[in-house]
Amino acid sequence: MSEDPSEPSRIFCTGQNVIRYSTNRVADCNWNSIQVQIDQATANLRAGVTVDPGNADRWFVAGGAGSSGNLNGGIWLTEDGGENWTRVLGSNSTPETNPQVYALIQHPDEPNLVVAASSRWMASGEAGVWASASRGEAESYTRLLDDGDYTSAVPIICDGTPSVLVGGEAGMALVSIEGGSPKAVKLPWEHAAVTALGACSQYAFAGTAEGDLYRVRLEYLTDEPLWTRLMGIGSEITALACSPHRTGELYMGLIDNGILHSSDSGATFFTFDAGLESSERRIFHLMISALGDRLYAGTLGGLAVRRLD
C-alpha cells in the first residue's frame, strides 16, 4: 500500500501482477486497475508502489519471485502513470542475480535517495541493500551491502540527514547520501531477525520474527544504539506504523493475531482489530494516512480500512 504524496486521496495497493488505486481514499470501495506485464514475466509486486513526491505520474514498482521464479526480480519505473515501464534494477538476461525486493523507499525529504531491501528466494537472487542517489534512474543503483537478507525499510531523519533504516536477517543498517553517492553504515544489532520497522520524530521501532518489539531514540541511532525491549508477544511482528500527527501513537501488525495499538510510544498496547474477519487478522502491511485520520491494513483477506478518532 502507498499514498500519493501530492494527492492523498489516491491510495495504491498491489497484488501479484496488478496495481489497484482508489481516487477517493477507498470511500466507496471502487478501484481502478492497471495490469503490469513486464519483460517476459508477470511481475510479483511484493514491494508495492512508490510514487515520486515531486511527480504524481512517476511510480516505482518492485518485487520478484513467485511462479516465474527469479525472472521478475528488480525495480521498474513509469513516468506516465503506468502506461509504459522501464526496468531500472535487475535483468531479464541474468535472472539468477535479480534482487528480490521486499521493501522500496524513496525518501520523502530527499527524493534523490531511493533504497531497496532485498532477500534471496528459493536460494536464488541477490540479497542485500541497493540504493540510488539519482532519484532511482536506470544504471544509478549501487549494491551497498551483500551480507544477507534485508526485508524491511523506513525513512527517517537522523542527525539532520534524510536516511533510510533497513533491517532483516542480516541485521540493521542506515543508508544516506554523502558526497553525491549513496552510503550504508551497519548498526549494532544482536537480536532476532528484523521483520518490521517504524519511525516517528523521536524513535525508531523494530519488530522481530520472535515477536519482540524494540525502540531506540533517533539521536542515539548512530552512536552505539541501545535498543530497549518493550514487549514480547510470541507472534511475528509484520508491520509497524506511526501517526504523523499524534505523538506516541503506534500500530503493530502481527502475522496471525491482528493489530495492536499504543498511544505511549510502545510502552503499552491494546487490541485494535474489531471488525476484522478471520483471514484479515493476518497482517502484512500497515499505513496511516498523511492526514492521520485513517489506518489502512494489508491483510490475507484484502485491504481493510478503519477511521481514527
Q: DSSP assignment, residue 227?
A: P
For residues 133 and 169, what is the distance between their CA atoms, to the nearest angstrom?
25
Tell me the backbone φ, ψ of residue 281, rounded to 5 degrees.
-85, -5
A 10 A CB-CB count for 220 gives: 14
Q: Assign 223 a pLDDT band (cuts: 50, 70, 90).
A: confident
- Collapsing DSSP to helix, strand or coil, 201 comes out as coil
DSSP state of 121: B
Q: Could you tell me the sign of the dihedral formed by the alpha carbons of 37, 38, 39, 41, in that order?
A: negative
The label of the residue with cell 499524534 reads 246
Amino acid in position 158:
C
- Look at residue 11 and give its three-state secondary structure: strand
Q: How far is CA 205 from CA 4, 44, 201, in A?
A: 24, 28, 11
What type of residue sits at position 52?
A: D
Dihedral angle at the C-alpha atoms of 213, 62, 19, 67, nearest 10 degrees? -100
Q: How far is CA 44 from CA 76, 81, 121, 172, in A?
A: 12, 19, 12, 25
Question: What is the rounded distance in angstroms from the CA atom of residue 150 to the CA atom of residue 153?
Answer: 8
Query: pLDDT tens digit string along 12-42?
Result: 988 777 888 999 998 887 888 887 666 545 5
Q: Is the pLDDT of residue 44 over 80?
A: no
Biggest CA-to-CA distance, the chain: 51
Residues 233-244 pLDDT 10s: 989 999 999 998
Does pLDDT of 129 surpass 90? yes
- Helix, strand or coil for residue 288? strand
Residue 99: the pLDDT is: 86
Q: What is the mean pLDDT of residues 131-157?
A: 96
* 93 within 8 A of 63, measured Cβ to Cβ: no
pLDDT bucket at 309, cuts 50 / 70 / 90: confident
Q: Which of 177-191, 193-207, 279-293 has the lowest mean pLDDT?
A: 279-293
- Cβ atoms of 197 and 206 within 8 Å: the answer is yes
Using a 10 angstrom Cβ sphere, with 0-12 exposed, 13-18 middle and 19 or more buried, the burial of residue 37 is exposed
- List pLDDT tens digits, range 90-107: 877 666 678 889 999 999
Rounded to two decimals, the pTM is: 0.94
Q: Is the pLDDT confidence value at 284 over 60?
A: yes
Q: Which three cell numbers stand for residue 203?
A: 524513535
pLDDT at site 181: 98
In 3D, which of 152, 289, 246 has the Cα closest to residue 207? 152
Tens digits of residue pLDDT in 45-83: 888 899 999 999 999 998 876 544 556 788 999 999 988
Q: Work out the pLDDT band at 123, boundaries 50, 70, 90.
A: low
Which among 100, 105, 276 is positioned nearest to 199, based on CA atoms?
105
Q: Report whether 131 contacts 114 (CB < 8 A).
A: yes
Mean pLDDT of 120-140: 87
